[in-house]
A and B are shown apart, each in its own frame.
Chain A
Amino acid sequence: MQVVLMDAGGSNIGSLRYALQRLDVEAIWTTDVETIRSADRVILPGVGTARCGMSRLHELGLVELLRSLRQPVLGICLGMQLLFAHSEEDDTPCLGLIPAAVKRFTERPGLRVPHMGWNRLQIQRRHPLLTGLNEGEQVYFVHSYAAPVGSWTLASAFHGGPFSAVVACGNFYGMQCHPERSASVGVKLLWNFLGL
C-alpha cells in the first residue's frame, strides 16, 4: 500500500511518519501531484494556521488536486479543518469538501484555550474508521479552532460545547485529535484508516 503524507508546511510531520513506521508503513513525504494522485491513501497533516496551510496548498497547486481525489484522504488536526468550507482563523476560505465553518473556541472563565490534553470521544455514528473504539475512550487534542457537529461527525468531544473530533464525508476523513499522539486508541484510528 502506498501512503502519501502531503507536506502542507506543518512542523510535526515527523511524528506522523514515525507512527506509520510503527505500523510498518513507510509513507512518502511529498508535494508531487502524480505521486499523490496515484497513492492508495493520502494524509494531510498540519500544525500551524489555516491561512498558512491554504497558502501553501495554493502555491503548490494542490487545491484542485485534493478536491479531485477519489481514494481515502485523511486530514489531521489543521489538516482536518482545511477540509471544511471556511476557517474563522484569519477569515480563510478552505477546501470546501465538508459544508461547515471552523470557529475559535470562545474563551470564558474556566474554559482554557488552546484545548490541550486528553479528552473523551463520544461516538455519534458507527463507521469502519471507529472499529474497536469504545464510547469514552480518550485521545489527545491540541487546537484553538474547532468544527461543529453535523451529519459528517463520527465522534465528537466536549470543550465548552460539543465539536467534531472524527469526521467522514464521502472519501474524505478527518481527525481533530492527534492519532500519532493518542497511544493505543490513536493506533486503532490510524490502522482503521489504512484498512478502509
Chain B
Amino acid sequence: MLSRRIIPCLDVRDGQVVKGVRFRDHVVMGPIVDLALRYRDQGADELVFYDITASSEGRSVEVSWVETVARVMDIPFCVAGGIGSVDEARSVLHAGADKISVNSPALERPALIDELAAAFGTQCVVVGVDSRRDSDGQWRVNQYTGDPLMTKVLPRCTLEWVREVQQRGAGEIVLNCMASDGVRRGYDLEQLQTVRAACDVPLIASGGAGAPWHFHQVFVSADVDGALAASVFHSGAINIPELKRHLHDQGVLVRIC
C-alpha cells in the first residue's frame, strides 16, 4: 500500500530558499542544497522547489541549481517556475529533476500540458493550481501568484480546471489553497474534499499546515496522497520524524526512516 507523502516545499529566489506569508513579504531561509539535505535526512518523502518569481519575471527555471540538487539528492524532487515549453521542461528534467510542475504558463496555454505529457509521460507532469474562494462563493484559479502586484483572479472555476488538466495529461495536482497559506490554521478541508472528488490522479494538499494534527486531518478527511508545507518545517515548528511517528501512531501509512 502506498504511503502518504510529507513534502517540504522550498520557495527559491536568487539561489536561496525564501518564505512569505500569503505569498508575500519573503524572508531568506538559507541556501538551497543545505535545506534540501536537511529535509532528506529528516525523512521527507519528496521535495518541491518553486522558482517563485520565474513566471512573473517572464523566464524559466535556472537549471544550474537543479543539477546541484540532483547530484546530492536521493529522494524524488519536483521543480516549478515559469516552465512554458517542452524544451524548458527537458532541460530541467535532464538536469536531474524527477518531475516538473506547471502553473501560470499552463493557464496561458493549456495545450502545454498535452505537449509535456506526450513528451515525457504523465508521471513527470504536475500541475499546480492556486485557488481561492471568490466573492460569489466559487473557488477560482489565480495566476502569477509569485508577485502580488501581478496576481490575477481568472474566470476559470477551480473544479473545471482540475478536470481539464487531468484530461490533458496531468499526472499529479498540487492544490494551493491561497486563503489558508502561511496562516497555520490547517488545510482547507472543504476545498480539498471537493477537488478530491474530481481528481483521479494523485492530489497534494498545500497551504495551512500549522500542527501535526492538521496533517492527520487532511489525510483522513480529504484523502490526499501527500501534504505539502513550508514554513512549519523551515522554522522547526514541526519536526518531520516526530510528525511521521504521530501519523503512524494514528494509523496513517507513512514511511518511517
Contacts and interface: CB of A to CB of B under 8 A. Distances in A.
Contacts of B93: 11-12
A142 interface: yes
A86 interface: no
Contacts of A117: 2-3, 5, 45-46, 202, 225-226
A119 B255 CA distance: 8
A37 interface: no
B123 A180 contact: no
Interface residues of A, number: 37
Contacts, number: 102
B50 to A, nearest CB: 19
Given A11-B90, A12-B98, A14-B95, A119 B3 contact: yes
Contacts of B2: 112, 115-119, 159
A107 interface: yes
Interface in A158-196: 158-159, 178, 180-184, 186-187
The A interface, classified by DSSP as helix, strand, loop or mixed, is: mixed
A186 B122 contact: no
A49 interface: yes
B71 A114 contact: no
Most chain B beta-carbon contacts within 10 A, residue among A12, A115, A120, A184: A12
B120 A113 contact: no
Interface string B58-94: 0000000001001110111000000000000010011
B255 A138 contact: yes
A118 B201 contact: no
A138 to B, nearest CB: 5
Given A14-B94, A112-B201, A112-B225, 7 more contacts: A11-B93, A15-B70, A18-B70, A49-B121, A119-B3, A159-B1, A182-B74
